[in-house]
Structure 1
């Protein structure tokens, strides 16, 4: 049964553009004007974060939109402090909408005397008063088990499938999906099955973290249009090296679909100068001016999917329905109208 309260959105400073887009999409879906809650999220001179909510939120269903991307610590603290402010203001429920979940790569102990920071972050969120989490393409699915509250993990694969069918219309018989490492095979296989194309793998062997010693292509990519799929692109070293390896193995073209474009350090320069024809990322992380201006980087929106997911949570209906391209097709209204 739908709640009698209205869903209310509040945004931190991590990705206000996405938050405004989600609000606009919710307005379109419902025909009722949805605005971000008026609030200020500021820093004192010593960089302490201060939050003040100007609107009454007592008894309201609150959705805090805040990816914990770079600067991860600042954005995480903003999220926690906003949640605390809302809880102390008697909000009925606080849901954290985290398009990019920072610290997700620290999900296990890789050697002695190291932390499991993803679990620590989960504990902090629950203690701050967050009662539900909505996120996109968690780096490791088991992170959902770190929380003792509901976690809805959306997938970019259905959106990417719509985009690939549109971008490579008439050429799908040439397309091959490629996983850039063995660990990402499940993600790549899911996308390959959605668009009905074969799968290949680039096996990489590291001498030490951050350095790739050797790459080998598993599968025949001769004359194929290769699409590398992954969840995170940070410095782009692995991605550009994988694209080069595929071209050397006989691929006709290489494109990449990456959910979270962290793109730190030399990443944009590497991508611009690489053999990749295009890199497609989502807007889960606010793109920098360099990313927006890069000639071979394209951004697909996640606002339609997040807006519908928020409405489904508010209504108490299924979020898993958004895992299918057939469901997302109408939501992405005409972006892929040729299909």
Structure 2
């Protein structure tokens, strides 16, 4: 049964442009003005975080929009403190909308005496008063099991598939989807299936963390337009090496579709001087000016996806319907009308 109250948004400082874009999309669909709740999220001189909500939220269905990207610890604490403020203000339900879930790469004990930080973050969110989590392309799907509350994990694959079908219209026979490692095969296969393209794998062997000893291509990429698919691009070292390897094996062009553009350190410079013709990322992380101005980096919006998911959660209707192209294309009306 649909809720009687309206969904209300509150934004942290991690990605306010995305929060405002989600609010605009919801305004279009609701036929009424939706704006984030008036609040202040700021720091004292000693960098302690302080939150004050200026509007009454008693009994409301609240959605906190806050990726836990760099600086991960500050943004995570903002999210936790906002959740605590809403819980103590008697909000009826608190959904944490986390477009980029930080610490997701620490999802298991790869070595002795190491933490499982993703599980710790899940515990912190629950204890802070979060009732539900909405996120995008978790690094490891099993992280959903770290929570004892509902977790809706959206996928960028349908959005990327729409974009690929639009950008490479008429070139479908030349496309080859590439996974940059064995662990990402399922993610790459999902997009390959959606665009009806074959798949290859770049297999890499590491001597130690951060250093690649050897890379090989599994599959014939000669004469193909290769599309590398992954969930996170951090320093872009592996991505750039994989692109060059594909070109060395005869690929005509190399493009990449990466959900979360962490892009730390020398990433932007590496990408601009690489063999890649383009890198497509989502706006799950707010990008600085050097990224926005990079000649071969393009950002695909996620606001239509998140706005629709929030309204589906509020209405008690299916979120999984957003995984299908037929459902998603109208959500992105105007962008991919020619697909």
Give TM class, smaller chain: over 0.9
SS in 2 for 1:127: helix
Corresponding residue SS for 1:333: coil
Distance 1:300 1:248 in 2: 29
**Residue 103 of structure 1 pairs with residue 115 of structure 2:** no
1:309-333 CA deviation, whole Å, 9 max, x = no partner? 0000000000000011111100001
Residue 128 of structure 1 corresponds to which residue in structure 2? 128
> What is the CA distance between 1:338 and its match in structure 2?
1.1
Per-residue deviation at 1:217? 0.3
1:195: Cα distance to partner? 0.4
Q: Distance in 2 between matches of 1:63 and 1:161?
A: 28
Please state if 1:16 is matched with 2:7: no
Gapped regions of structure 1 (runs ≥ 5): none
Q: Distance in 2 between matches of 1:61 and 1:48?
A: 27
Query: Which residue is 2:317 aligned to?
Result: 317
Matched residues, number: 339
Query: Matched residues in 2 for 1:324 and 1:284: separation?
Result: 20
Give the 5 Å matches for 1:144-293: 144-293=144-293
Q: Secondary structure at the match of 2:232?
A: strand
Structure 1 ranges of 4+ moved more than 4 A: none
- TM-superposed deviation, 1:334: 1.1
Deviation at 1:148, TM superposition (A): 0.1
* TM-score normalised according to structure 2 size: 1.00
For 2:336, the equivalent position in structure 1 comes to 336
- Map 1:46-65 → 2, pairs under 5 A: 46-65=46-65
**Aligned counterparts of 2:74 and 2:328: Cα–Cα separation in 1:** 33
Task: Measure, in 1, the Cα distance between the counterparts of 2:322 and 2:337.
Answer: 19
Deviation at 1:196, TM superposition (A): 0.2
Cα deviation code 1:82-125 (max 9, x no counterpart):
00000000000000000000000000000100000000000000
Q: 1:112 matched to which residue of 2? A: 112
Q: Which runs of 5+ in 2 are unaligned?
A: none
Alignment of 1:301 with 2:297, yes or no, is no
